[in-house]
Chain A
Amino acid sequence: MNDTPNTTRRGFLKAGLATGGALAAGGGGAAANPDPLITEVQPWATGLGAGVDATPYGLPIEYEADVIRRNVPWLTADVISSINFTPIHALDGTITPQGCAFERHHSGAIDMRKEDYRLMINGLVDTPLVFTYADLERFPRVNHTYFLECAANTGMEWAGAQLNGAQFTHGMIHNMEYTGVPLRTLLEEAGIQPSARWIYVEGADASSNGRSIPLEKALDDVLVAFRANGEALRMEHGYPVRLCVPGWEGNMWVKWLRRVEVMDRPVESREETSKYTDTLADGTSRKWTWVMDAKSIITSPSPQSPIVHGHGPLVIAGLAWSGRGAIERVDVSLDGGRNWQSARLAAPPQPMALTRFYLEIEWDGSEMLLQSRAIDSTGYVQPTKAQLREVRGLNSIYHNNCIQTWWIKPDGEAENVEVS
């Protein structure tokens, strides 16, 4: 392994420290000697590069090999029924590439051909119907970008600062542009009966992962999707067809969608009673906690993406989102929440999709306690962990949308901390 280039950012930082280069005053200084990368003809400038078709389906260049999904082995009993995390600390913009978008399976990711795909709509409908994949492609299509956040994202942080990295604290999220058919179109094709109040959706895998959804939501913006970011869904995200339930917890976005039953009541399945319910301090539990509240996270600098360039101009980058609408504003604090300034939003925010924000500062090398705070179009302000604990107690698991703190040290390293 000695010849393996050390591609992690932390590795880069350490290598820089060893040669004394990385933390020299950043930028603007005069060069002592001409840079051989400029003065000498480099191999890539004289020889030839790879031809077309070298990789018929391209993968990231080897220097980005550390930008991958990772899991936390002690979290679950087995990787078949488990979760991993999107490397949000190493991505920018808002669209998550499918290949590194986090996975969550309850009975493993199944291998199904489009030809073997069937979608049934039954229950309180005029005509129960079966669609093939080819049928779905003949309905009028829409394109929408939505975030999918697991209800358990940041769940390990309820009791205290635990995992050291934005990937692990906030990486149960991805954001893709979906192509699909509104579920409403398919339900209307079957004919919804007047007594209908709910739908029950389930997948073709062994877990089935059944969930009940109010009919109102089903008819509003739920999407039966078969493409993400322009290409087919990946196996791990439900190929060939998954459900999108915009703004609502990821568990409801049933993968390998095989059946939609129109009902007059919820099923109260395992995933909506024993799991994905929120136990309060007095032992009572909230159920049907579907919407994901406004939340944000500074992705860089962060523990896996420390400052390696020394003092001077620094770009603070982060993500914000809300299941209740669009992001209206994001504030950033450098001092643990004493003072705030509004960040710059990279593009007009879209409802129920990730928004990228930046704050450009001059860093003088002093310690910072970095925080971000999202405010959505309803006026909801992302709360602190203390505010959430005041309402929910300490035993909650899901729906932790608290403000996160990164402690930036004088050497540029960052650590996940809790502050008073």
Chain B
Amino acid sequence: MSKFRNLLVCTALASLAAAPALAEKLGLGRPALPEEIAAWDVDVSPDGAGLPPGSGSVADGEVLFSENCAVCHGEFAEGVDNWPKLAGGDGTLAREDPLKTVGSYWPYLSTVWDYVHRTMPFGGAQTLSDDEVYAIVAYILYSNYLVDDEFVLSQENFLEVEMPNAGGFIVDDRDGVEVPRFSQPPCMNDCKDSVGITMRAAVLDVTPDETAAGETASEAVQVAVAETTVPAAASAPDPALVAQGEKVFRECAACHRIGEGATHRVGPILTGVYMRAAAQAEGFRYSPAMTEAGEGGLLWDQTTLDAYLERPADVVPRGRMSFRGLSEPGDREAVIAYLRSFSE
């Protein structure tokens, strides 16, 4: 090892010599304007620094939560599928499989406000107004039984809310607790009397099947080849538009899958949706409103898809798709072309 240690020393010296030494500023970049700082510097600290003026009630929050959040987090913040549960878990942290929610785990309310404000809803970040964020945070507190149903959260009373697990954290103590314990000279021979296998991964059998993944990849390649060699039919959507639509579809991909091997996610599979009646994807649990619309004759053609993608609630009121809509007509045209490319 000593040979390596010497080499290390040499390397360290060499890298010191190679590091650029700057005597003074280079004058690169430009001063940030106050408007630019205001647009990006929106983080909120535990002491409330960074919170904008505003307020929102539990009652308003309930409606907003249902429209924007419930699709993943559940109507009562109880979580859908593998999406995070935001409520419950009180008293579970010391138990097996603790349930970590805003109520049971998060130490600071500022973190909830900050995260909802800049990152939620999933696929529509930074679309909520400050008052809406206050209301949604108020509802999350209510769903954790931390405030009553009359509660209104505001910049003024923000710091009065007590988070149950605020005292539940310690700063990393590994240096004191673990490092000395794990820095003993290790045993090299006859370190234990016997060794036995106590648990096997094959018994659980939760490892993804590699062959299956490999075949899917090969199929994808074949499909791509086929698409480039088969001449497009006269009525087929413009490939450039389809490619553009594929990019726009990223906004949809938070909840929808399309094409070979697609499965239902938060939203239904969209393969074949173009020129099909609404609520027809097999095995998906549609909202009563969407099922009703399908039975009432709603067909997903250019016109109806365009209207639905612009403002979902105008076409199917009380549907579950919590998407703000695509305001750009060009984006809608492109994404419809992309959907068409998966309809035969």
Q: CB within 8 Å of B: which residues of A?
A: 1, 4, 7-8, 10-11, 65-66, 68, 70-74, 76-78, 80-81, 106-108, 111, 120-123, 127-132, 135, 138-142, 160-165, 168, 182, 185, 188-189, 200, 202, 206-208, 210, 258-259, 261, 265, 267-270, 273-274, 277, 279, 281-291, 293, 303-304, 326, 328-329, 331, 335-341, 345, 348-351, 369, 373, 375, 377-383, 387, 391, 394-395, 407, 415-420
Contacts and interface: CB of A to CB of B under 8 A. Distances in A.
Given A164-B207, A340-B191, A415-B200, A273 B26 contact: no
Given A130-B36, A165-B207, A419-B196, A286 B253 contact: no
B211 A348 contact: no
Contact of B172 (A259, A289, A395): A289
Interface string B181-217: 1111111111110111111111010111011011101
Given A129-B32, A284-B168, A338-B195, A142 B202 contact: no
B81 A419 contact: no
Contacts of B4: 328, 345, 348-349
Interface in B292-337: none
Contacts of A185: 20, 22
Nearest to A136: B28
A268 B45 contact: yes
Contacts of B194: 420
B276 interface: no
Contact of B36 (A120, A188, A277, A337): A120
A121 B190 CA distance: 57
A66 B31 contact: no
Contacts of B170: 284-287
Secondary structure class of chain A's binding surface, majority of residues: loop
A328 B82 contact: no
Contacts of A285: 93, 105, 168-170
Contacts of B83: 77-78
A267 B181 contact: no
A161 B201 CA distance: 5
B196 A420 contact: yes
Given A131-B28, A162-B204, A270-B115, A259 B41 contact: yes
A338 B191 contact: yes
Contact of A107 (B1, B119, B247): B119
A339 B189 contact: yes
Secondary structure class of chain B's binding surface, majority of residues: loop
Nearest to A378: B183
Contacts of A206: 119, 123, 125-126
Query: 4 closest Cβ contacts across the A-B interface?
Result: A140-B20, A283-B94, A336-B195, A77-B82
A200 B30 contact: no
B255 to A, nearest CB: 8
Contacts of A348: 4, 7-8, 11
B41 A122 contact: yes
B189 A130 contact: no
Contacts of B169: 273, 277, 284-287
A7 B211 CA distance: 9
Given A273-B106, A329-B1, A129 B210 contact: no
Given A259-B41, A274-B111, A282 B94 contact: yes
B227 interface: no
B140 to A, nearest CB: 12
Given A111-B247, A128-B32, A142-B19, A419 B195 contact: yes
B201 A417 contact: yes
A420 B198 CA distance: 6
A418 B28 contact: no
Give the interface centre of B40, B46, B198 by most chain A CB atoms within 10 Å: B40
